Every structure is written in C-alpha cells, then in structure tokens.
Structure 1
Amino acid sequence: MIKLRPLALASALALSLAAGPLAPALAQPAPAAAEAEWPGLPPGAAEEYAVMRDGTRLAANVFRPAGRGPWPVILSRTPYLKDGRRTEQNPNPAEGLAKQAKRYTDAGYVYVLQDVRGKGRSQGFYAAFENDIEDGYDTVEWAAAQPWSNGKVGMTGGSALGITANSAAMANPPHLVAAYVVVAPADRLSYSYPGGVLKEKDTIGWLRQQGTSEEQLDRVRQRAFDDVSWNRVAMTANRKYIDIPIFNVGGWYDIFNGGTVDNFQWLQNHGAPGARGNQKLLMGPFGHGQLSGDLEYPGNDRIGLAGDQEIRWFDHWLKGIDNGIMDEPPVSYFMMAAAKKGALSPKNRMVAAANWPPAHREVRYYLAEGRALTTRAPTDAEEKVSYRFDPGRPVETFGGANLTFERGPMDQRAVGQRQDYLRFQTPVLAKDVAIAGPVKMELWAATDGPDTDFVVKLVDVYPDGYEALVLDAPVRTRFRAGRMPGEVRMMTPGAPEKLEIDLWPTALTFEKGHRIAVHVTSSNAPRFEVNPNTGEAPGAAKLKPRVAVNTVYLDATRPSAIVLPVVYPDDVK
C-alpha cells in the first residue's frame, strides 16, 4: 500500500472559481502587508522580489539548502500568503512553512514560495488566476536567473497552488522542467457550474462570508455561459502549450476529481512532445478536506503522495537521477470497496494501470418499473414516473465533492422519503461489480415548463441500508446541448428528451451483498443552486418560482440508464 502524506490546503477556492471576467469587480488593491499585521519571515527564509513584465514586484520567500550552490529550484505560487496568517487555530504559521520548506532544502533544492499579484507582500491587484499565466512565466524565468539557481525549475502545489502551476506550464517558460500538481481543475467553468448549475454553497455562500456585495454575487450567478473570458485561462483551451512532465494527484471525492483525471489523460495521450507519455496520475480515496459520514478509507484525510514520491519525481527530472520512477506504471488509483468505520474490506487497494481509463466495458443499468435497476433493457411500450419539484422545498445536500462543508460518501437515507426523490436499486448483488473509469447518465426526461434541473446520484447501498454517495451531478435542461449562447434552448413542455449527465470518474467495487443504486431528483441544496423553473436567464430571479412537474421515462424507446465502466474480475481480486 502506498502511504499518503498530509498537504495543507486553504479553502478559498470559491472566490477563485467565480472570478473569471469579474476580476475588475472583485480585484483587491494590495500593497505590501502592513508591518503591524505581518507575522514576519519563517525561519531560514530570505525575502526576494521578482519584477514582472509590467513592473509589478512580487515577493517570495527563498529557502536555500546548506552548502554551496547553485541548486535546482522548486517553486510554489500562492494566494494564501507566503508568510502565513496568525489565527487562534494557527498562532505560529512560520513553523509549518519552515517545515514545509525543509523537505525540499534537505533534498538539495532551493524552495521558493511566492505571494501572487495583489496578495500578502506582493504589489498589484488581486484578480484570481487572471494574471498567473504571464506572472508564472516571469517568475519561473526570474528564479532560473538567480545566482542560487542552476537554471532548472520545477513547480509544486495543491488546489490554488496547483492551478498557478498549471497556468505557468501553459505559458511554456523555457526553464520550467517539470511540475507536481495536486487537485486542480481542467476548466473553471465546468467545475463552477457543472451541467450549467452554479455550485451555490461553495461559491456564493463563501463569497458572501468574505463581504462580497450582492451586486457582485448577482454577476457570479450569470456566469454559466461559455465565453472567451473563461477560456483565456482554461486548461482545456491552453494545455496544448504544456510541454513538460506533470505528476497529477487527485481524490475520488475531491472537487476537482474529473479535472485531475482529464488533465492527465489529455497530456499523456495528446500533449506536446515533452508532455506526451511523461505524465503520472494518482487518484486516492479522499476529498478536498476530511471526509464526512460513516466510511473511512485508508489515508482519506491525505492529499498527495509520500514525500519521497514527489522528491523522486523532481530528482529524476531536475537532477537527472535514474531512480526508476519513469519505469513504473503511469497510473495508480485506489480501488474503493466497503469501508464502514472499523470494518474495512481487504478489497480496498491501490491498482496500477498503463493508462486511464483502464480496460473496461460499458454496462448500462436501466431504471425500471418498481424502482428497480437492472441490466435488462426495458421492453414496455410506455413507462414513466412523475413528481412535483417545488423550488421552495429543495432536497437537502448530504455529502458529495464539496469544499466548504461536509463532503464525501455520506448516508443518503438522511434525505428521507420524498415524492420528488426517486430511488432505483438492484437486487442484492450475488457477486462483486467493480467499476473504474468515467460514469455518465443517459436520462430520458420531460418537464411541464421551459426549464428545470435534474440531479443524479450513484449510490452504494450497504447490507445494513447505509446509502453511501459515490458520485452526483446535475444538468440544467436549457444547457443540455451546450454552454455556448447559440446552443441554449428551452424545453418543449411535456416533450421527453435525452439528457446526458457527466458524473465524473471513480473506481469502486460494489461488493457482494451490497446493492447498486441510482437516485434521481431535481435539487440538491445548498450544494447546487435551485432552479426556479421559470426559464429566466441565470441570475435574473424576477419571476415567482413555479412548481414543475418533471417526468422520467423508463420504456423501450426512451430507456434511462446509468453507464458504468465495469472492469473484469481478474482486475480487482
């Protein structure tokens, strides 16, 4: 079993995800931190300034190894303050930062931790991730030219720091050699508004707590459309410029689960020559913070590989050490299984693979009459089930890939029995069903109005009835054909259409004695914004919300099914 190590991550991603072209509205002028508020430099750090192409000076802590250089450099760029912030919970941030730096200096690297533009001791205006392509390039080249540097630079970091690393890599600076990126998205649009539905709690709620005005929040609510502002800094649009090896680390319950996998998959198979074939992927059983609920996987509170794994990566690429890391399989993923606290199944384990996704076959599990879930395609000429979706009484959120509140495989029995919450499940499994790969839902549905939402959950039902959430995702029907303005179209009342919902990838063994379940509803609050069913433009909210009658179809011509990537039994023994 690969051991995992903690990697502390700040939880301010909601701001960064919502910003986009809102940068002028959300930008914060930030001169160097006032001396009275500044906690001071961590032990062993020297503060140095890099000058960007527009003259803005960005502050960095530079930690050097013992002895004489020059050395290779490992760089992190953070919006969370290079010197930390004193709080009641963390009265001495310098201690943790110095310990973090020591890992790299002990391994023979200069470690550079820089405040991004407009944060901490750096000059300029903070506009989340809008300047990190250019600033990342300039900082890498600055670090490479310093007397303590041998000209080889690697970047490392998780969450926002992972995004800044990817941003710099998209700029393709000549002296950036490799990166180690933990939990980062592929596309901020699709991860802020999955299926066209705003992640309410993790964006609006967090921004409001930070004092963001209601006017600015209204602008955030209007950002579900695809436009050039999103794509200027998106990995999906610009990763073709990345020409370096990247070690990608993610978690099955992380808010950027799909992005970590997608970035690896594209760069490994389609990337530029320096990237293609040189990527690594590790997916573990964790979220963007401690998991909630009654399941407990090994290392589920950890994000990142053991320190030697990261150092081995940089030793190979920055020092030219033949340590065998590139002879190992490119993909390692955790195959989750039954994991009730105190009763961990031995089928929980790490699996190595040559690529992602591993070999699998798509198996459709059809929603069927009597709330059944079966691999037999329906034969009835007409079968459907309808419910009333009242925006004033949304289904409550229990778990999922959340950032700022409870997350992970929580028990969906807490939702209760509701007429607007449809549970479909298999009989008790007579043998294991293992899946590894992308999961999607093909939902035939209709509504009696112009627009509504559908939410689908994949659930592992334990023998005692515990309904462990595996994946969940929504779709706003107006965005069923795409997010470009010309692709948006209202529903025809009462007319069924096929809706495809991306639930992201996972790896899980539904064990013998469990059931596979699919839950269908139209809300999941406060995880997702509640649709008023009026057909108004996002963020308008001028009309009174209406109760929608939504229908799910289960018949031969309109078969609703979840598509599971089933792997062969020999792959999971």
Structure 2
Amino acid sequence: MRIQLDISIPMRDGVRLYGALYRPDAGERFPVLLIRSPYSTQHPRYVEWARRFVAEGYAVLMQDSRGRYESEDEWRPYVDERDDGFDTQQWIGQQPWCDGTIGTFGVSYPGFTQILPAPLRSPFVKALVPIANQEDNYGHMRYNGILQLQNAMNFIWLGQRTNQNAPRDLIDWDQVYRRLPLLTALDDLGERPFYREIIRHPCFDEFWASYSMKGQYGEVETPAYFITGWYDNLLHEGFKCFKGWRQQARGREARERSRLMVGPWTHTQIGSDDPFGDVDFGPAARVDMPQAHLRWYDQRLKGVDSGIDREAPVQLFVMGENVWRGEETWPLERTQYTRFFLHSGGQANSMHGDGRLSRQEPRDEPCDSYAYDPDDPVPTLGGQSMFIDNTGPKDRRPVEQRDDVLVYTTEPLAADVEVTGPVELVLHAASSAVETDFTATLVDVHPGGKAIHLCEGIVRTCFRDSYRDPSPIEPDQVYVYRIELWETSNLFRAGHCIRLEVSSSNFPRFDRNLNTGHPHGLDDGMQVAQQRIYHDRAHPSHLILPVIPRP
C-alpha cells in the first residue's frame, strides 16, 4: 500500500484542506473512496477501513474538514461542508490516480458530509454510503423543536480545531445538564459559538434551512446506501433521507437503486453484535461493514455484479425474533395500522396503577393526571440517545415506579405480534401551563416483568402546529397531539405485553420544558405543570402500531 500524507486540496475561496491518500501498490488509476471528517484523518476505524478498501483495489482519500486538525481556516460546524465537499470531489476526479469514479463513506458527521454536496451533482460521484446521518441539524439538535440537550452539549468535547477527549470524562455532566439558563451553561468550560446558536434558534429558520436537505432531494442523481440502527439517535433522520432519495431524487438510478439497512444498533456501534442495554440480539446482529460497503462500491464504481441490486432494497433486523429480512418498500405494503386505546379508572400512575391498553374503544372513563416538575424530571433510560450509557433496549422498570409516568399495558398476548414501521400516539391532553411537553415510550414487557424500551417520542406543545411559528396553548384546554415514536421492528412474543408510557420529560436526552412559556434557553425560572390525559368516548387517545401479519 502506498501512503501519501500532507496533500493540500484547494477550495474555491483559496483555503486549502488537508488530505491523506492510500493507494494499492500496483496500478496508477483507481476508483476513489472519500471520507470528509472533523475527527482527524487518523481515526482508527477509518484507517482500518481504508486498509480493507485498498486491499480490494480502491484508493482512499481522508480529508480533515475546514478548520479541523491540519486543514486551514475556521471550523463552522456543518456550514461549509456542502461547497467544500463538492470542490473536493471535483479536484479528486481530475487527479491522475483517479479513474473518474468516486464513492463516499463515513458515520455520523461524515455521513452528513456525504449527502450535503449531492444536489450539486459532481459527475465523478457514483455511490454514497451515509451511516447514521441526518437530513438536517434541526432534526439532529432540535427534534420537533425540542433541544436534544446531550447532542448540543456534545460540542464541548468536540472542541474548535481538535477533539477534547481527555477532559470529557472528568466533567460532572449531571451538574452541567441542569444548568440554567441553557444559553450560558457551557461558558465556564469553553468557547462554543455553535452551541449558543443552537440555543438561540428554537424554530426552523434560515439558520437551519441554509444547509438542510429539505427541498433538495429533487436535485440528487447519485444512489445512496443508508445504514442506521433501531437505537441510533439519527434513526428517524435516516428514514427521512431514504424516503427523500427513493421518492424525490432527480435521477432514476437514485430512486430505484438506493438502499437502507437497519440493524439492532446504537449510534456508536453500527454493525456490532456487542451486547448493550438489557437485551442480547445475538451473533446475527453483526455485519461486516467494510464488506457491505465493498459490495455496493463494486456494483456502482467497478460495474462488477455483486448481487446487491437483486436483493430487496430494505434490509431490516426484526428484534425479538432476531433475524434479518428483506423488504421491497418502507413502510411495508402489508402493514395493518392498528389502534390500541388507552384505558384506566383514573389511576394509571406508575406500573402499579390501573392503566390498560386494548383494541376496545373507550366509553366514559375518568382522565389520568400527574404533576410534571421540571426540577425532578423523568431520567433518560434507554432508547435512541446518542450516548452509550443511556441508550438501547434498557429495562424501564425503575422509571415506571414514578407517579409522574402513566403506564398502560395490554393483557399477555395470546399469539406473536410483529410491529414493524412508524409508531404514533394520538394523545388528548390538557395542561395547567401555557407551554409544556408530553412524551411517549413503547415497551416490550417480558413474562418475567422486564420492560424493554423499543422507541420513544416527544412533543412540545408550542410546536404542535408549526416548527416555524410556535404558539402557546390555553391552560386546561384539551388539545390533540400526534406524537411520533419513530420507527421500530420488534416481534412481541406470545406471553409478552405491549406497554405505553406517557409523561412529560426525558432528561437529559431532551432539555426540560420549564412550563413558563418564556423564550427557550434564556429562562431560569420553573413552574410545576398539572397534566391530564383523556381517554373517553369524546377523547379516544390511542397508540397506532404498524402490525405486520404473520404466516
């Protein structure tokens, strides 16, 4: 393998970005695989992937994002990646060691750097493999307008030019997450202008739209192979991108050849079968990621029939059954969207309450109520968090002991029930506050009582109608909220129960709603909100599950 460091790559404004090139020993011109990253060209995972790719006849160029590590200028997170990515692709395509074809790769931020230049349509780029990437940063940093607090504060260790890994583990994060107002919460730790901008822009405005893929899919011609995990923090964003490519792309090949793989993985363990959370998905969870890339690249860049185009474009791992399955569409065409209604005698508080979930429509039932105190929020426990310590299929019973968590559970299932697709809760709710949050969590209850987290969602009441133009609610008035719990695929085995939790916080994955209605991130006052959940004939709150018929 030939290695060439210190490559200087010119951008349109004269700034030069650093690159490191890996090539096979024999040959002069190769298909080139590009990763553009803020995490250094020496990242161990990508150096190992480069070794694998070069062994199969590809050249690999790793590049530091503008302002990071060896690259010139100032790092403005995400903002310059579209133009810099396109300029880099055009430069590579004209180099004597490039055969005129380029593929891209990378996880998370380097996944986003792949899709941003796609609407500019470099003629050299033939295949993308965005892993655990977002459609835009509004979905990444402010899901449904709600601040993903841990994601935003993650920028303290990302630093300005280099990662600040050493002090990361020495910071008392529990204390930092609770700081108010959020705008100044990191000021004594470091200078992070991007974090403050995240706080200052709670609505989907030009700050977010300026480098979003929304409205851009119609310009895309290059097929993409999207990869994510059921417990990836960017799972929902990945589905948005896949849908955009398959339904709106300008090029027929992009619409027909783009693919999606979703495994039982969290954001930092894509392709791994290492156990995490409180469920072991077994050896079938493991996927050789470099090999998966090579099958795609061989087909798209070399014209080698790897067989990938004859496989179903959607590859899903069905949790609970722990098997892979190919599907032709998403959502699945045979989906039976099934309503499960909330019921109780007015005491659904905690797992010890009387909350029930069933197919039977409600009649006259009392509402359930609880007090949401932002000074005592429900802790994040499992789910689609970015960070391994509080992500994944965790047992929710410690959370379900709380009286501010309403719990609705089916009877033990008489037969297996597969749920694969987008999950949604239609919630009829009122609050004493002018603004508050409501959360929902889908849980698989095992016969021994273990309550395994599957997926979750949240709504901020001011964004119930628009992410651009928020509006308060009238205290004590009933509103209907549609809460997306993202996507999942799980086989609820016979004898298991389907459970829904409803509450008003999920901290520190999301910031706490302080219930005051004051500008987000600028407030340090709190109020307790009295919440009421209705499930009667006039207010039939229900969970919509995408049930897949079993043979």
The answer to whether residue 30 in structure 2 is matched with residue 71 in structure 1 is: yes
CA distance change for structure 1 residues 481 and 388 in 2, over 3 Å: closer, same or farther? Answer: same
- Note if contact 2:221-2:254 (Cα within 8 Å) is conserved in structure 1: yes
1:104-129 CA-to-partner distances (Å, cap 9, x unmatched) read 11111111001110111111110111
Asked if structure 2 preserves the Cα contact closer than 8 Å seen for 1:165 and 1:179, the reply is yes
1:87 aligns with none
* TM superposition shift of 1:443: 0.6
Conserved? CA contact 1:194–1:473, under 8 Å: no
CA contact (8 A) 2:419 2:545 kept: yes
Q: In the alignment, residue 327 of structure 2 is paired with which amino acid?
A: A
Q: Distance in 1 between matches of 2:304 and 2:196?
A: 52
**Partner Cα separation in structure 1 for residue 77 and residue 319 of structure 2:** 34
Q: 1:246 aligns with which of 200, 210, 224?
A: 224
Identity of aligned residues (%): 31
Aligned amino acid, residue 384 of structure 2: A
In the TM superposition, what is the alpha-carbon distance from 1:363 to its structure 2 partner?
A: 0.5
Give RMSD over aligned pairs: 2.0
Amino acid corresponding to residue 270 of structure 1 in structure 2:
Q
1:406 Cα deviation after fit: 2.2
Deviation at residue 272 of structure 1 after TM alignment: 1.3
Alignment pair present for 1:197 and 2:171: no
Give the direction of change, closer, same or farther, for the CA distance of 1:299–1:125 in structure 2 (3 Å limit). Answer: farther
AA at the equivalent of 1:527: R
113, 130, 133: which is aligned to 2:82? 133
Residue aligning to 2:210: 232
Verify the 8 A CA contact 2:101 2:301 in the aligned structure 1: yes
Secondary structure of 2:118's match? helix
Say which is worse superposed, 163-172 or 512-521, in terms of deviation: 163-172
Code of the residue aligned with 2:225 in structure 1: it is: F
5+ residue gaps, structure 2, are 160-188, 270-274, 345-353
Match of 1:478 in 2: 462
Give the alignment partner of residue 427 of structure 1, picking from 399, 402, 411.
Answer: 411
Match of 2:255 in 1: 276
Of residues 278, 284, 295, the one that matches 1:294 is 278
Which 4+ residue blocks in structure 1 deviate beyond 6 angstroms? none
Contact 2:152/2:195, CA 8 A, preserved across alignment: no
In 1: Cα distance, 2:355 partner to 2:24 partner: 63
2:177: which partner in 1? none
TM-superposition CA deviations, 1:218-254 (whole Å, max 9, x none): 5432322011221121122322222111111110000
Distance 1:556 1:97 in 2: 56
Measured after TM superposition, the shift of residue 393 of structure 1 is 1.1
1:310 paired residue among 287, 293, 301: 293
Deviation at 1:300, TM superposition (A): 8.8
| Residue 445 to residue 64, structure 1, CA distance change in 2 (3 Å) | same
Please, which moves more after superposition, 506-515 or 201-210?
201-210
Q: Do residues 495 (structure 1) and 477 (structure 2) align?
A: yes
Distance 2:102 2:282 in 1: 33
CA distance in 1, matches of 2:466, 2:153: 23
Q: How far apart are residue 416 of structure 1 and its match?
A: 4.6
- Shift in alpha-carbon separation, 1:98–1:497, aligned structure 2, 3 A: closer
Give the Cα–Cα distance (whole angstroms) in 1 for the partners of residues 516 and 258 of structure 2: 46
336, 343, 348: which one aligns with 2:322: 348
Q: Give the letter for the 2:17 counterpart.
A: L
Equivalenced residues, count: 505
CA distance in 2, matches of 1:560, 1:395: 22
Alignment of 1:43-58 (within 5 A): 44-58=3-17
Residue 520 of structure 2 corresponds to: 538
Distance in 2, matches of 1:207 and 1:265, equals 33
The answer for the alignment partner of 1:111 in structure 2 is 60
Cα distance in structure 2, aligned partners of 1:74 and 1:218: 35
Decide whether aligned partners of structure 1 residues 216 and 155 sit closer, same or farther in structure 2, where only a CA change above 3 A counts.
closer
1:214 Cα deviation (Å)? 8.3
Q: 1:526 to 1:354 in 2, by over 3 A?
A: same
Pick closer, same or farther for the CA change 1:216–1:102 going to 2, 3 Å: closer
Q: Helix, strand or coil for the counterpart of 1:237?
A: coil
Other-structure match for 2:504: 522
Tell me the amino acid that sits aligned with residue 536 of structure 2.
D
Q: Quick one: structure 1 residues 277 and 205, their matched pair in 2 at CA, closer, same or farther if it must change by over 3 Å?
A: closer
How far apart are the structure 2 equivalents of 1:494 and 1:51?
A: 60
Equivalent position amino acid for 2:325 in 1: V
Cα distance in 2 for partners of 1:259, 1:397 equals 20
Q: Under a length normalisation based on structure 2, what TM-score does the superposition of the two structures give?
A: 0.88
Structure 1 residues 438 and 68: CA distance shift in structure 2, 3 A: same
Deviates more, 1:400-409 or 1:107-116: 400-409
Aligned 1:544-563 pairs, distance under 5 A: 544-563=525-544
Give 1:100 shift. 2.4
Q: Unpaired runs of 5+ in structure 1?
A: 1-41, 85-92, 338-346
Residue by residue over 1:526-572, the C-alpha shift from the partner in whole angstroms, topping out at 9 and shown as x without a partner, is: 11111111111111215x311111110001111111111000112xx
Q: Distance in 1 between matches of 2:284 and 2:466?
A: 35
Partner of 1:176: 125
Q: CA deviation at 1:193?
A: 1.6
Supply the distance in 1 between the matched residues of 2:101 and 2:111 (Cα, whole angstroms).
19
Q: Secondary structure at the match of 1:309?
A: helix
* Cα contact 1:285–1:298 (8 A) shared by 2: no
**What's the offset of the Cα at 1:97?**
5.1
Deviation by residue 1:27-65 (Cα, 9 ceiling, x = unmatched): xxxxxxxxxxxxxxx983433111000001011111111
1:545 maps to amino acid: M
Is the 1:444–1:499 Cα contact (8 Å) retained in structure 2?
Answer: yes
For 1:399 and 1:110, locate their aligned partners in 2 and report how far apart those are by CA, in whole Å.
Answer: 39
**Equivalent residue letter for 2:234:** F
Matching residue of 1:223: 201
Q: Is the 8 A contact 1:285 1:300 kept in 2?
A: no
- Residues 150-184 of structure 1: per-residue CA shift (max 9 Å, x gap): 11111111111111111122321121111111111
Q: State whether structure 2 residue 214 is matched by structure 1 residue 259.
A: no
- Structure 1 residues 287, 238: closer, same or farther in 2, change over 3 A? same
Structure 1 residues 63 and 396, CA gap change in structure 2 (3 angstroms): same
Change (3 A) 1:129 1:548: same
Separation in structure 2 between the aligned mates of residue 452 and residue 295 of structure 1, nearest angstrom: 33
Q: Secondary structure at the match of 2:533?
A: strand
Q: Distance in 2 between matches of 1:80 and 1:279?
A: 27
Instruction: After superposition, give the CA deviation of every residue in 1:494-515 in whole Å (9 maximum; x if it has no partner).
Output: 1101001111111111111110
- Out of 145, 166, 169, the position equivalent to 2:94 is 145
CA distance in 1, matches of 2:296, 2:41: 24
Cα separation, 2, equivalents of 1:213 and 1:496: 43
Matching residue's letter, 1:557: A
1:444 aligns with 2:428: yes
Answer whether contact 1:440 1:564 (CA < 8 A) is retained. yes
Task: Please give the alpha-carbon distance, in whole angstroms, between the structure 2 residues aligned to 1:299 and 1:559.
Answer: 42
- Cα distance change of structure 1 residues 249 and 123 upon mapping to structure 2, 3 Å threshold: same
Distance 1:152 1:205 in 2: 35
- CA deviation digits over 1:326-382, x for unaligned, max 9? 111111100000xxxxxxxxx2100111111112011011111230001111122x5
Distance 1:367 1:97 in 2: 48
Give the deviation of 1:479 after TM superposition: 0.7
Between the aligned partners of 1:457 and 1:209, the Cα distance in structure 2 is: 30
Superposed CA offset, 1:77-133 (max 9, x none) = 11001134xxxxxxxx5xx65432121111111110011101111111101110111
Which is further off, 416-425 or 109-118? 416-425
Write the distance in 1 (CA, Å) between the matches of 2:527 and 2:443.
29
**d(CA) in 1 for partners of 2:279, 2:230:** 14
Which residue of 2 is the match for residue 505 of structure 1? 487
Instruction: Give the TM-score taking structure 1 as reference length.
Output: 0.85
